[in-house]
Structure 1
Amino acid sequence: MKVLKFGGTSVGSSKNINNVINILENYSKKDTVVCIVSAVGGITDKLLLAGRQAQNKDNGYIETFNTIKDIHFNIINELNLDKSSPIVESVDIKLNALKSLLDGIFLINELSPKTSDKLVSFGEKLSSFIIAETMKNRALSVEHKNSQDLITTNSNFTKAEVYSSITNKSIQDYFKSATQRITILPGFISKSKLGEETTLGRGGSDFTAAIVAAALKVEQLEIWTDVSGMFTTNPKLVKQAYPIEKISYQEAMELSHFGAKVLYPPTVQPVLDLNIPIHIKNTLEPHAVGTIISNDVANGNYTVRGISNIENIALLTLQGSGMVGIPGFSKRLFETLSQEKINVILITQASSEHSICLGIDENDAEIAKTTIDATFENEIALHKIDPIIVEKELSIIALVGDNMKSHQGISGKMFSTLGKNNINIRAIAQGASEKNISAVIAKTDVKKALNSLHEQFFEAKTKQLNVFITGVGNVGEKLVDQIKQQRKYLKDNLKINMRIAGLSNSRKMIFDEDGIDLNTWKEQLAEGEKASLNGFFESTKKLNLRNSIFVDVTANNEVATLYEKYLRQSIGVVACNKIACSSDLENYKLLKRLSLKYNAPFLFETNVGAGLPIIDTLNNLIASGDKITSIHAVLSGSLNFVFNNFNDSTKFYDVVKQAAAEGYTEPDPRIDLSGVDVARKILILARESGVEMNLEDIENTPFLSKSGLESGSVDDFYKTLIKDEAHYQQLYASAKAKNCQLKYVAQFNNGKASVGLQEIPIGHPFYNLEGKDNIVMFYTKRYPEQPMIIKGAGAGADVTASGLFADIIRIGND
């Protein structure tokens, strides 16, 4: 014999009911089947609503009743049942009885628990009758049996207690003589010894199924719902969640207590006592494996079996120095809550006895505060304790697993993962059994917490990075293309799942928490919302995705001022924008501190040398104990390109224009040609070497003409290049006469730095530096005579984008 239970969603439409009938028909070919059904999805809530409306003299109960009526008759029509058949007449009689009951509640202005049980029983009576009669209409061997004839309870209305011996005998006697292949029973409903209609409370249909399964001692109880079993975590919040094939009773109950809606633990106690396995199946995907709950679960190599959460939690804190060493505070606190029938979900107490924290349903918070403050009124007045502190808009997340007790470091991994993602923990609870570790967090962090923990404990060590890029111009577009090209490689080889969740240019911005489609990002961006630097930050913050990285591909001062905000939200920052790291020393040091404090990486390799590993090499030298004594470098790919292409047969204006057109200069070429850009770069290297200095401390010897330095706009500047061509030709002629090359050189030595145009003689490492290449020579204690040299392309969209990409990957590998 098979016992199956179908929930409200499973019988919530004619389509789903047809699925149920097909499942039952297939089962009945091999076994006799007992099927317990819930009310049509949402009907119980509507019945209670109608009852409250009637009690409150609200004529809206009639409209609610009509909605209930329409739902059931729509299902009947869609099941192709003959409108003139006895089925329709019987359903109409039941609905008329429901209407009469509601009218009575309206007249007497009262809805007692006893009447409430009678009212809500209509849901299961209607659904079970319609399903049974539909199956009879299709010539199946089926009978509808009222569970109230089988399950006997006391008169504790709305949550009646079952008389097991009487109930077991009634069930066994009935099925001994039953000849039908399929029996349909309404769940949830029962009768008292006095013949009064009662209900079994929350999860009552599960309870009915468990009672029947236990009485008949079947091999397995099947609970059919709208999901394919119990998942590793909430699949609505974590797309990577997957069904757990086998799980122990204890694990299932822990997960269910903490928010998994598939099972209500108290109701399955009858089958648990007899060690009857429970199989969770999906009505909409009947061939899916589902989840088997039993005591026969191999330990395996798993540690955490699932991650669950409870929403709408309030945290109550009772604290005060007057509590220390004084017995009875806990007793009075819990008695007060018990008297108000307030359930305590989580408890934690400091060993100092100075405070007790309780997690309760947020809806009970106000009455809890009022009654607790009243209970401790005297102690509060004497300042022995504080008035109860209430914190709302919280949630509980919980790791669950039988094997957690035999694995060290689980809680460490949990809290480290949450901390890395800026998720603040308000309270922690762990039972002595070590099957559950619970933490109270802000409800706004639940999705990020579940995804982060699921990635840590259930996924194949694949780290998801959520990238937000501001500035998708020349370099930004190359970066997007590189990410698109390498996504599969990163996932397969580096176990990094990189998604671009936000993009912005100066006009538009777009966001997608599931990742922007990189095949159509340009079209999407063109149709995006109006761009705003602060709006981009706020949207990134609101999405609250784990492992978020903000990438600045601009030269904008206002963007650089936002780094602090991103870092404070534990959002990593990757920048080719040099303004922040060359800004006031205190701001530079603040960004470094925030990066450490909020565990948010702050990487800016492309600030110096584009894609060359200059800063990374410098940091490695310092970290290994070496000390920088001096730095000599050509750090401007744009200036090197300009002076490598400028001669007595070219015009300086034409070469600068070419450099700008090929993306080697900043949008404003004066930043490069004035030496400010190079000064910023040597300043960054000096700071990374451990020297404290500001931009004004760097000696900058300009080579531009006076009019060029004083130009008010980019257009004016280009005009000065044409006018002052003789000035630039004179610079070239001087170098040529000495058989030298013009190079713009940055130097750092003995705590001082300078930048300026120099005439480099033959034989010098800088002399043959070609094109847009950069070169850096580090002299250190370990490299006092022969410096460490890094040389290569130091400008261009592709290499700059690759440098940014490398920083993003570096974060993914941490």
Structure 2
Amino acid sequence: MSSLVVNNKLVKHAVQIHKFGGSSLASIECVNRVVEIIQHNCQLHDIVVVSANGDITDDLIEIYQFALQNSEQLHQSIEQLKQKQRDLVFGLLNESNAEALFAELLCDFELLAKWLQIDISEHEAELLAFGECWSARLLAAILAERVCPSFAIDSREFLVINNDVDCQVDYDVSQNHLSQLLDVQKLAVITGYIAKNTLGLPCTLGRNGSDYSATIIAALTNAQNVTLWTDVDGIYSADPRVVPLSRKLHRVPRSVAKELGRLGNPVLHAKTLQPLERVGSHLHVASSFDPDMPGTEVGDFGQIAKQELSVTYANDLLLVQSESFVGESGQLAFHKFSAISGDLDDGQLVIHLSQQKAVSEWLASDDTEVKFTPVSVMAIVGHNVARRGNVKARFKRALKHHQPIAFFNQLHSDSLVSVLPQPCTGELLNNVHHDVTKDARHIGIVVAGLGNIGQCFIELLPQQLSRVSALENVHLVGLVSSKKILFQSDGIEAECATQAFEEHAVDYSEEALLEWLSNHPYDELIVVDITPSESFSQLYSQFFANGIHVIGANKWAASAPLNEYQRNLTLAEKHQVLWLGNTTVGAGLPINHALEDLQQSGDNIVEISGIFSGTLSWLFEKYDGSSPFSELMSQALSDGITEPDPREDLSGRDVQRKLLILARLAGFELSLEDIACENLVPESLAALPLNEFLSRAEELNAPFKERLAAAKKMSSCIRYVARFKTEGGEVQAKVSLETLPQSDAFAALTPCDNVFKVVSNWYQENALIIRGPGAGREVTAGGLHSDLVNACRQLANKQHQVKLKGIN
């Protein structure tokens, strides 16, 4: 357990602060969920901070207003609130604990009754504090009953601020008082929102002030992390309750988060981040309604996070124009009234409507003219956005029909503020959000497999990123070999990727790989699988289940057992992920594209045949009997044309898998066992160690010489051919060494070429022929880049409907 010394006293050092908002504590179901979150995420040395349950604070404000008005509804409102609290207490605690806690709560209602008999206005802050006190007592009692020793702390016992306007904390006094209250053997549940001023009078931190309380307590205890548990699973590019197609911002720079809070982001209180600057605590925003969903991190990040944009707005504002707001006096006014924005050269400030009287009184001594204009503001927030001309131009175009009064960008470099003469509507916010952020989606790519083709793919990447517009927001973020891994959330420079991998890659486990991929901070993540690994292909189902797209040159998944293959297809469809594999067959040749297009367009494919192996194409185009077959195979091996073990090619298994992949793309439910395969390796050589096989390779010569001689007698040649055919509901499929006439389309190929022949309802008399290089690092890497561009174009149009589990 961590600890620190304050005034020579050993006290608890909170490692984590967990703050739960009102919506997270709104009902019996919600509170039970919070208890479960605490059970799984908290230790005794952590601290829990709470808001009032649900809308209790609104109920208390209503009671206060009814009391001032002597309303007939006052008694009814009090009884309704009492019943609401009773339902929570008795619905969450065992009977004896519930009775004890409710008796304590009734004392508060008796106190309220006394205040109503005198002057309730003198007790406004105390009345509003009831909500947090009741919430903290209830949660502490539940935790003590079910989870661990726990107790409630009223933050008025330690938290001292100058007043309820500035809310500036006296950290030395507050830390000293808090250190005496904490108990290293119990989990503390502390009230948010409330405090006391320097005179010892109760006061509040303003609406949504519980977040500010949490970060203040983090600063007082040197906590490493603060998690704000709310009804939204992070900070979004707009209020997701208004803009359903807003994007989660997985990582937000501190300065941007601070500006979002200042401009009224629904998740961040304006002062939330200030205390964290004292101790450098990490801020995490998560949803108590979906605790397993990755939230938003606020911290110091690189260029990817700095490119993010968010749109926010505020109504019920005033544009104030006065000569007294020019220059230094304007700066003073800006800070005094926490102005939203302004132009100090023209003497303009935007303030809240409620501040009109205070501003008028402040200006009275200057005896200058002042003009108040009702306005709203809409703002674009992002790192250094005031200096990003393209964003400013797009923002102006989006608002050109709404006659903005002004655009301000001189006071905060992380925001562009538009002042509008009419209130901002949900429709306007949706339209502006679409126009400004439509191409801001960030796509991370992870390259798995760093052999010849993988290296070539990476070598091509820099020029592809610079010249293909569809790849504008693509970032290389991970490199994976069979033993090492490198992940950099802020991106790996493509030009230096290989060097970065050599210098910084670390050992990894499959579990660590899946954990990082499942919690990636991007709008989309694509794994480019260039491995020959069957075990890596078996991770696809977990990739798909986590919304991760796959581009694969790896044949194993596409030719897996039928039930496994179909399960992957179902998962990909369910989670709306892409699975592209054009390079599984034919390297960069578009045979996969062609079959998918025919199938999806309504054609009926009846036959697929051809030469699918670049290695076997080279061998049998070159083999004319002038030299033994074993010498030719040895040359192909040394030139890198065959697999390291040539038996992988000669077995026909690679061609068998390719034919299976194509048949499945054509809509047929085939298994590998349905395709007959002629193995060109004699049984006597099949199981030998590689070196022994190579030393006895001359045993291949006689069988091939005999097959070639027989073919020549018929003026023919030998080729390794794949054939699939369906007729009358019967399917025939095989891969084998065939004797072909010299005039056959498969007979005269450039060595290493593949050729694919497709017969369908649309292509009968004149079959569709696709021919070209079927192997080679450049063409295969090019085919992978083709798939990447195709994927990014599809993802650019993908829309994510935000699902707010706590709301809709």
Give the aligned partner of residue 811 of structure 1: 791
Give the aligned partner of residue 517 of structure 1: 493
> Could you tell me which of 793, 800, 804 is aligned with 2:773?
793
Structure 1 residues 121-136: aligned runs within 5 Å: none
The alpha-carbon distance between structure 1 residues 51 and 680, as it changes in their structure 2 partners (threshold 3 A), is same
The alpha-carbon distance between structure 1 residues 547 and 657, as it changes in their structure 2 partners (threshold 3 A), is farther
SS in 2 for 1:757: strand
Distance in 2 separating the partners of 1:763 and 1:685: 25
1:662 Cα offset (Å): 4.2
Structure 1 residues 324-363: aligned runs within 5 Å: none
Distance in 1 separating the partners of 2:334 and 2:458: 57
1:479 Cα offset (Å): 0.9
Give the aligned partner of residue 566 of structure 2: 589
1:543 Cα offset (Å): 1.9
Answer whether contact 1:735 1:742 (CA < 8 A) is retained. yes
Instruction: With a CA cutoff of 8 Å and minimum separation of 6, indicate the structure with the bigger relative contact order.
Output: 2
1:739 Cα offset (Å): 2.5
Give the aligned partner of residue 427 of structure 2: 405
Distance in 1 separating the partners of 2:330 and 2:788: 61
SS in 2 for 1:543: coil
Answer whether contact 1:612 1:791 (CA < 8 A) is retained. yes
1:780 Cα offset (Å): 1.0
- After superposition, what is the alpha-carbon deviation per residue over 1:413-461, rounded to whole angstroms, capped at 9, x for unaligned? xxxxxxxxxxxxxxxxxxxxxx9xxxxxxxxxxxxxxxxxx7x542464
The alpha-carbon distance between structure 1 residues 715 and 186, as it changes in their structure 2 partners (threshold 3 A), is same
> Could you tell me which of 268, 276, 294 is aligned with 2:419?
294
SS in 2 for 1:612: coil
Answer whether contact 1:465 1:546 (CA < 8 A) is retained. yes
Answer whether contact 1:557 1:579 (CA < 8 A) is retained. yes
Give the aligned partner of residue 195 of structure 1: none
1:743 Cα offset (Å): 0.9
Distance in 1 separating the partners of 2:441 and 2:483: 32
Answer whether contact 2:588 2:784 (CA < 8 A) is retained. yes
1:707 Cα offset (Å): 2.2
1:570 Cα offset (Å): 1.2
Answer whether contact 1:462 1:496 (CA < 8 A) is retained. no
Letter in 1 for 2:664: R
- For the pair 1:52 / 2:28, whether they are aligned, the reply is no
Give the aligned partner of residue 483 of structure 1: 461
> Could you tell me which of 557, 563, 566 is aligned with 1:580?
557
> Could you tell me which of 443, 446, 449 is aligned with 1:465?
443
Distance in 2 separating the partners of 1:461 and 1:184: 39
Answer whether contact 2:379 2:417 (CA < 8 A) is retained. no
SS in 1 for 2:677: strand
Structure 1 residues 616-635: aligned runs within 5 Å: 616-635=593-612
Give the aligned partner of residue 367 of structure 1: none
- For the pair 1:779 / 2:764, whether they are aligned, the reply is no
SS in 2 for 1:600: coil
> Could you tell me which of 526, 534, 554 is aligned with 1:557?
534
> Could you tell me which of 526, 533, 538 is aligned with 2:502?
526
TM-score, scaled to structure 2: 0.51
1:811 Cα offset (Å): 0.8
1:586 Cα offset (Å): 0.8
Identical positions, percent: 26
SS in 2 for 1:749: strand
Letter in 2 for 1:550: V
SS in 1 for 2:758: strand
Distance in 2 separating the partners of 1:701 and 1:770: 24
Answer whether contact 1:663 1:796 (CA < 8 A) is retained. no
> Could you tell me which of 687, 708, 725 is aligned with 1:732?
708
Structure 1 residues 565-576: aligned runs within 5 Å: 565-576=542-553
- For the pair 1:683 / 2:660, whether they are aligned, the reply is yes
1:667 Cα offset (Å): 4.1
- After superposition, what is the alpha-carbon deviation per residue over 1:502-528, rounded to whole angstroms, capped at 9, x for unaligned? 111223221223321122111111121
- After superposition, what is the alpha-carbon deviation per residue over 1:691-719, rounded to whole angstroms, capped at 9, x for unaligned? 112101111122222223x2244334323
Letter in 2 for 1:50: D
Answer whether contact 1:551 1:574 (CA < 8 A) is retained. yes
SS in 2 for 1:779: strand
Give the aligned partner of residue 232 of structure 1: 380
TM-score, scaled to structure 1: 0.51
- After superposition, what is the alpha-carbon deviation per residue over 1:711-738, rounded to whole angstroms, capped at 9, x for unaligned? 2443343233244333333333333333
- For the pair 1:599 / 2:582, whether they are aligned, the reply is no
Consecutive unaligned residues in structure 1, runs of 5 or more: 1-38, 61-110, 122-171, 190-201, 223-228, 252-274, 298-400, 411-434, 436-453
- For the pair 1:754 / 2:730, whether they are aligned, the reply is no
SS in 2 for 1:503: strand
Structure 1 residues 126-275: aligned runs within 5 Å: 212=362, 232-235=380-383
Letter in 2 for 1:766: F
Answer whether contact 2:722 2:735 (CA < 8 A) is retained. yes
Letter in 2 for 1:115: L
The alpha-carbon distance between structure 1 residues 680 and 55, as it changes in their structure 2 partners (threshold 3 A), is closer
Answer whether contact 1:231 1:241 (CA < 8 A) is retained. no
- For the pair 1:639 / 2:616, whether they are aligned, the reply is yes
Answer whether contact 2:449 2:480 (CA < 8 A) is retained. yes
Answer whether contact 2:447 2:479 (CA < 8 A) is retained. yes
SS in 1 for 2:670: coil
Distance in 2 separating the partners of 1:246 and 1:639: 56
Give the aligned partner of residue 67 of structure 1: none
The alpha-carbon distance between structure 1 residues 795 and 188, as it changes in their structure 2 partners (threshold 3 A), is same
Give the aligned partner of residue 115 of structure 1: 199
Answer whether contact 2:613 2:754 (CA < 8 A) is retained. yes
Answer whether contact 2:465 2:471 (CA < 8 A) is retained. no
The alpha-carbon distance between structure 1 residues 205 and 743, as it changes in their structure 2 partners (threshold 3 A), is farther
1:628 Cα offset (Å): 1.1
Answer whether contact 1:234 1:241 (CA < 8 A) is retained. no
Distance in 2 separating the partners of 1:246 and 1:742: 63
Answer whether contact 2:620 2:719 (CA < 8 A) is retained. yes
The alpha-carbon distance between structure 1 residues 761 and 184, as it changes in their structure 2 partners (threshold 3 A), is closer
- After superposition, what is the alpha-carbon deviation per residue over 1:55-88, rounded to whole angstroms, capped at 9, x for unaligned? 458599xxxxxxxxxxxxxxxxxxxxxxxxxxxx
The alpha-carbon distance between structure 1 residues 763 and 566, as it changes in their structure 2 partners (threshold 3 A), is same
Letter in 1 for 2:362: V
Give the aligned partner of residue 97 of structure 2: none
Distance in 2 separating the partners of 1:597 and 1:217: 67
Distance in 2 separating the partners of 1:213 and 1:242: 38
Distance in 1 separating the partners of 2:626 and 2:666: 42
The alpha-carbon distance between structure 1 residues 291 and 551, as it changes in their structure 2 partners (threshold 3 A), is closer
Distance in 2 separating the partners of 1:806 and 1:524: 25
Answer whether contact 1:612 1:803 (CA < 8 A) is retained. yes
Letter in 2 for 1:484: P
Distance in 2 separating the partners of 1:182 and 1:598: 53
SS in 1 for 2:518: helix
1:495 Cα offset (Å): 6.2
The alpha-carbon distance between structure 1 residues 611 and 534, as it changes in their structure 2 partners (threshold 3 A), is farther
Q: How many residues align?
A: 477
Distance in 1 separating the partners of 2:478 and 2:370: 49
Q: Cα RMSD over matched residues?
A: 4.7
Distance in 2 separating the partners of 1:216 and 1:244: 36
- For the pair 1:720 / 2:696, whether they are aligned, the reply is yes
